Structure 1
Amino acid sequence: MASLPPGPRLPAAVQSTLMLRWKSAFASACKRRYGDVFTVQLAGFGPGVYLANPDDIKTVFTGDPRTFHAGEAYSMLAGMLGPSSVVLLDGDLHRDRRRLMMAPFRLEAVARQHQLIGEIAAAHVADWPVGVEFPVAPKMAEITLEVILRTVIGASDPQRLSALREVMPRLLTPGTYDTPAIARPSLQQRLPWRQLRHRIAEADELLYAEIADRRADPNLAERTDTLAMLVRAAGQDGRQMTDAELRDQLMTLLLGGHDTTATALSWALERLTRHPQALARATAAADSGDEDYLDAVAKETLRVRPVVFDVGRVLKEPADVAGYRLPAGVTVIPAIGLVHAEESLYDDPAQFRPERMLGATLSPTSWLPFGGGTRRCLGANLALAEMRIVLREVLRGTELRTTTAPGERVRIGGVIFQQPHRGARITLRARRTADLVPLAANPQQDQRRD
């Protein structure tokens, strides 16, 4: 007989509010009371079963995708991403679309973008103020947006690039007020959400113009931007993506790679400025070209401050998970944040210790900031490389002031992201120069880490 694990008995509306405002604290409290598996009631979505044991999470990640539907779990993003987004698809459609999108995110393809990412980061960091405290999150968002516009979309027309810089930040950082209209696109016709509809329309016009340019480019075969590679890609049947399908994938990559990486980089500096020894070692690593330690900083940041706290799968039929026969319709939720804070997996897990990641063999169900299974984030290689390179440019171009101030609290930003509540405020003591060794763009080193 199907059954659900125990969980809080608060009304669904109350539980949903707690999850929306204080997800990490609420989920941690539930874990302390109910254990590694518990049920929450989510208004409009029904019961969600949280999983904090890696073995149970493996059951979900390796389960039959016909039973464990991830796309359906993210249906609330349909109004932003579009119906053919790879994130929203399930089954054979998802498998085929993901296969078409793999090439731009392979290690060798990402390595070809390293130099451009470094140039973008260095140019932006050179304009950061010295001697005054400022929130670094908006600065990081500018860098990651530029990286996506140049490496993913491949925008080069000055006027269109300028328009994209203007439109995309307003679209890609929706507030909680926009959430209903993102989940239910029909609401965008109503007065409270018409501005959201207008922002999406502005973005669409620019993205479709880029798609048209790429299709007409006589040098398409030589281009290395993601859009060009997607335009060239064809399935086993020879079919290529339509303009509408390309638009949905670009919007997905923009949403998935902009705020996420910016937030992770902001947390990295927030953590480093509160850990002087780690900051000193990271600075030395940036100067000497030590990729390993910068990679460890990135991975430890993603562990201790995961940008996305959890991922979901909707059961299409009853399934045995964590000792329960769960009914169809339930959402099973691997809890990234709870796993990363588990003492049996990480000694003193609340502490920021990049050294723990040096030479570590990371299990895909105990370190999972990018999700897992066939739904693991396509852009994971790009995100890790971008974090290393941007951290390098910040640390070898500036001298960060350490602080004894308490760490910034987690707040839910946009729709699902865990951001520093004050924007990760930092202060540059000075600008600096050093005898620098370039950070290698070696796909084999990246392969060893991942």
Structure 2
Amino acid sequence: MNRTELRFALYLIPFLDSVEDIEDGLVKLRDRRWLIWHPDVMAALFRNDRDLRHPPSRTLSPLLGNRSVLWLDGAEHTAYRHALAPMLRGNRYQVLIDEMVARSIAELPSGDPVGLAAWTRRLTLRIIGRIVFGVDDDELLTAFTRWLDRRLGIRVRTLAHRYLAPGTTRFDAELDRRLLHRAKAAEPPALAACLPQEDLRDQVVSLLFAGHETTASATAWTVFWIYRTPGLADKILSGDAALLEATIMESLRLSPPATLAGNRMSDDGMTITPSIYLAHRRAATYADPHVFDPARFLGGQQRTGAFFPFGGGVRHCLGRDLALLEIRMIVTALLRHRRIRLHVPRHCTPQLRGAAMAPPPSLAMVATCRR
């Protein structure tokens, strides 16, 4: 591993910040591996995505499994996406989301600080847990969170798993047994009925992980930016739906929960890694890219390859509409029912969970009832 790739691996955000002014929008990480973010290159990559391979993540595949839909290719990938897509159609879950959001807001301790990202993770995991299992099981979801946090919650531990024990699975046999039991007992048995049993574990874990982690981070970042922008909360509360949507989009631009959009590999072994983080901060695309400005998303279409918080090509996120619905409903309910103060640490350095970018645990909110 050369010095450039080492910096990319160990100090991802500082490395991305150090190269963001490169106008070509690409950096050679090592021989036959490139980091890219130029919109024209991104658009071409996504257009030709079906002809590329998508190697497993060295960080996430030991957790999610090599049979996760996230790594499959070709006809098999298409078939799995078709099988899973009906489960993730957002509009069918409005009542469920409303119920879960109301419950989680009611549980907020009045006047006591609560970690913002931890709270949104618990809530979004409850939502995807009900979708996958058909019932509430907070005990099982708590066990899942502990298992995930032991592996992704601390950056040093994540890197140690990746580089000191490469290729080693990090499954928990007892947790897997409980997850599979719950998935098979679901009514209707949506997953168990449409997927091969030998792949069920990997798809359950992938849905739980992908179905809550980035949505939680996106929601927390949106709340953060609203309360960092004077007057924005009152304007959204007045019922300005377009402004709320633009605020969410701008939060996804400036604080994308996924910094990278997975690896692509050509038949001759060239590996390409698209950077969402860098594409969203490109000065040639966005004026004053480090400034939070929802107005840039009011009434305009974004250039293809310049804005892709949910990935692109054949790997675009199946749960995009569900995630956006959750963010809208959580943020709106929180603004309506609680007065929020944020305890923002002096150095609000993002926490990396794999390649995902979450607010730091030290970012806390204090919620009190509206009178």
What corresponds to 1:69 in structure 2?
A: 53
- The reply on whether 1:374 has 2:328 as its aligned counterpart is no
Return the alpha-carbon distance in structure 2 between the equivalents of residues 64 and 353 of structure 1.
31
Summarize the Cα distance change of 1:335–1:400 in structure 2 as closer, same or farther, 3 Å threshold.
same
- Distance of aligned partners of 1:128 and 1:211 in 2 relative to their CA distance in 1, 3 Å threshold: closer
**Greater mean alpha carbon deviation, residues 353-362 or residues 271-280:** 353-362
User: What is the number of equivalent residue pairs in this alignment?
Assistant: 366
Map of 1:145 onto structure 2:
125
Distance change >3 Å, CA 280–CA 47, structure 1 → 2: farther
Q: 1:22 to 1:282 in 2, by over 3 A?
A: farther
Structure 1 position 169, deviation (Å): 0.6
1:276–1:20 Cα change, 3 Å: farther
The counterpart of 1:208, out of the listed 168, 180, 200, is 180
8 Å CA contact 1:38, 1:51 repeated in 2: yes
**Distance across 1 between alignment mates of 2:162 and 2:201:** 17
Are residues 1:357 and 2:297 paired?
yes
**Deviation string for 1:265-308 (max 9, x for gaps)?**
111122122112222222333xxxx4333222221111110011
CA drift of 1:186 comes to: 5.9
What is the deviation of 1:412?
A: 1.4
- The code of the aligned residue for 2:132 comes to V
Distance 1:123 1:421 in 2: 24
Letter in 1 for 2:103: A
**CA offset digits 1:384-405 (Å, max 9, x no partner):** 1000011011111111236797
Conserved 8 A contact 1:78-1:182: no
Taking structure 1 as reference, are residues 54 and 165 closer, same or farther at Cα in structure 2, changes over 3 Å only? same
Other-structure match for 2:243: 293
> Offset at 1:143?
0.5
Cα deviation digits, residues 174-213 of structure 1 (max 9, x gap)? 234245647867635xxxxxxx54xx22321122112331
Larger radius of gyration: 1
2:169 aligned with 1:229, yes or no?
Answer: no
Task: Tell me how far 1:133 sits from its aligned partner.
Answer: 3.8
Q: Deviations over 1:81-113 (max 9, x none)?
A: 12321101112221221122222223xxx2121
Letter in 2 for 1:86: V
Structure 1 outlier segments of 4+, above 4 Å? 178-186, 402-407
The 8 Å contact of residues 69 and 81 in structure 2, kept in 1 or not, is answered as yes
Partner of 1:247: 201
TM-score, normalization by structure 1:
0.74
Could you tell me the TM-score, scaled by structure 2's length? 0.89
Structure 2 CA distance for aligned equivalents of residues 283 and 22 of structure 1? 39
> 1:134, CA displacement in angstroms?
3.5
Q: Which amino acid aligns with 2:48?
A: G
1:191 aligned partner = none
Q: 2:146 aligns with which of 161, 170, 178?
A: 170
Q: Distance in 1 between matches of 2:27 and 2:271?
A: 12
Contact 1:270 1:426 in 2 (8 A): no
Gaps of 5+ in 2: none
Q: Deviations over 1:361-399 (max 9, x none)?
A: 234411100100111011111111000011011111111
Preserved contact between residue 167 and residue 202 of structure 1 (Cα < 8 Å) = no
Q: State the SS of the aligned residue for 2:318.
A: coil
The separation in 2 between residues aligned to 1:423 and 1:381, in whole angstroms, is 29
% identity of equivalent residues: 26
Partner of 1:277: 231
Q: 1:84 aligns with which of 47, 67, 88?
A: 67
Find out whether 1:124 has 2:64 as its counterpart.
no
- Unpaired segments ≥5 residues, structure 1: 1-10, 189-195, 221-227, 233-239, 318-327, 434-450
